[in-house]
Amino acid sequence: MSGKLKITGNVLASQKLQAIWENPEEETEKVSFAGAPKDSDESAGNDPSQLGDMPAALKSDFVFQIFAERLGEEPELAKKMKVVYNWNILQGGKKVSEWTVDLKSGSGSIYRGSPKSGKADVMLTMEDEDVILMMLGKLNPQRAFMTGRLKIKGNIMLTQKLNQLWQEILKSGRAVELPILSAILADRPFDPSLRSETCFVELGKRISRLPELVEKFKTVFEFNVTKNGEKQTQWILDLKTDKGMLSRGPAKEGVTPTIFIDVDDDVFADWILYKISADQVISSKKTKIQGNSSLVSKLLNSLKLTSKL
């Protein structure tokens, strides 16, 4: 007995939960966690009055987007589950977003808001940061549930099955974005005052789909994001290593940037969202480049992909 888990109440019930989690096929009991959303919350949908102030993007948004892309390419995934999951995403205890993972209708679908028809089989409530940690395998779902970080209303075994399916996708390497995005998403929370925060995640997705960039550039770029002329954040784009890597700065030991780009937060975001061209980024008075500016232009033009933000 290590003393790391303290139980007040029915110890046998806790042991049963452990057995259920380890052997999901053996039990079909419904479990309702105290504090989970009430049934009436299911109709909240995307009503701003119910969801609160919706941020431009949450970390969990990217996980659901990747999951949706995988489901689009592998519709057979839905046939393994036949379940509807409703996710309520929190920030600081306040509901800020909602997603439905429908693996029951047709070839499946993933979308914002509550289920379009009927009720979800499982409702899950979790902080945005914890969703990322759990999906990246850095937070054990059982521990999250036992400590109240994951609240479940419905069939707990179906939650375990969803996690197993996601972990299968992770280990298979089919989600090519995750090796680059994992480090970014597991890092500190996004700064909501900077549009570029989520845009760098989109940049990471583009890089993951263009592994030839390493051979093409063989260069390390340092991006310094400014706002009102003041430096806010730093990002390192390493196109020398393996298939490329994007991370928050400063550069790690052994990684030496040779091109430095000071770029305004709004300018960078507008480029990612295709509101301005690469040439407009470079010619902006809010952009300063130390190093080969023609290589920067070549890089920005090489990263033109359809945005999925």
Q: Is the peptide bond before 250 cis (omega within 30 degrees of 0)?
A: yes
| Residues 161, 80 share a domain | yes
pLDDT at 37: 33
For the four alpha carbons of 104, 110, 114 and 117, in that order, the dihedral sign comes to negative
- Residue for token digits 């105290």? 34
Q: Is 86 a member of any domain? A: yes
Q: How many CA atoms lie within 13 A of 237 on its CB side?
A: 26
Number of domains in the chain: 2
Question: Using an 8 Å Cβ cutoff, are 43 and 120 in contact?
Answer: no
| Residues 183, 297 share a domain | yes
The rounded distance, in Å, linking the Cα atoms of 99 and 44 is 11
Please tell me the total number of residues recorded for the chain in this structure: 309
Return all residues near 217 (Cβ < 8 A) that are at least 6 apart.
239, 295, 298, 299
| Residues 291, 218 share a domain | yes
Domain end marker among 174, 196, 227: 174
| Residues 130, 204 share a domain | no
pLDDT at 305: 59
Q: Is 228 a member of any domain? A: yes
Full pLDDT tens readout for the chain, 309 residues: 544 444 445 444 444 444 444 444 433 333 322 223 333 333 333 333 332 333 347 899 988 988 888 888 888 878 778 899 999 999 999 999 999 999 998 888 999 999 998 899 999 999 999 999 988 888 888 889 999 999 999 988 888 888 878 877 777 777 778 788 888 888 888 898 999 999 999 899 889 888 899 999 999 999 999 999 999 999 999 999 888 999 999 999 999 999 999 999 999 999 998 999 999 999 999 999 999 999 999 999 998 754 444
16: left (phi over 0), alpha (psi -120 to 50) or beta: alpha
| Residues 233, 138 share a domain | no
Q: Is 308 a member of any domain? A: no
The rounded distance, in Å, linking the Cα atoms of 279 and 293 is 11
| Residues 223, 138 share a domain | no
What ranges in 137-272 are assigned the alpha helix state H?
141-146, 156-172, 178-186, 196-208, 213-217, 265-272
| Residues 228, 149 share a domain | no
The rounded distance, in Å, linking the Cα atoms of 93 and 84 is 24
Q: Is 10 a member of any domain? A: no
Residue 234, domain extent: 178-303
| Residues 191, 106 share a domain | no
pLDDT at 69: 86
Q: Is 31 a member of any domain? A: no
- Residue 89, helix vs strand vs coil: strand
pLDDT at 224: 98
| Residues 96, 157 share a domain | yes
For position 258, which CATH number holds?
3.30.1050.10
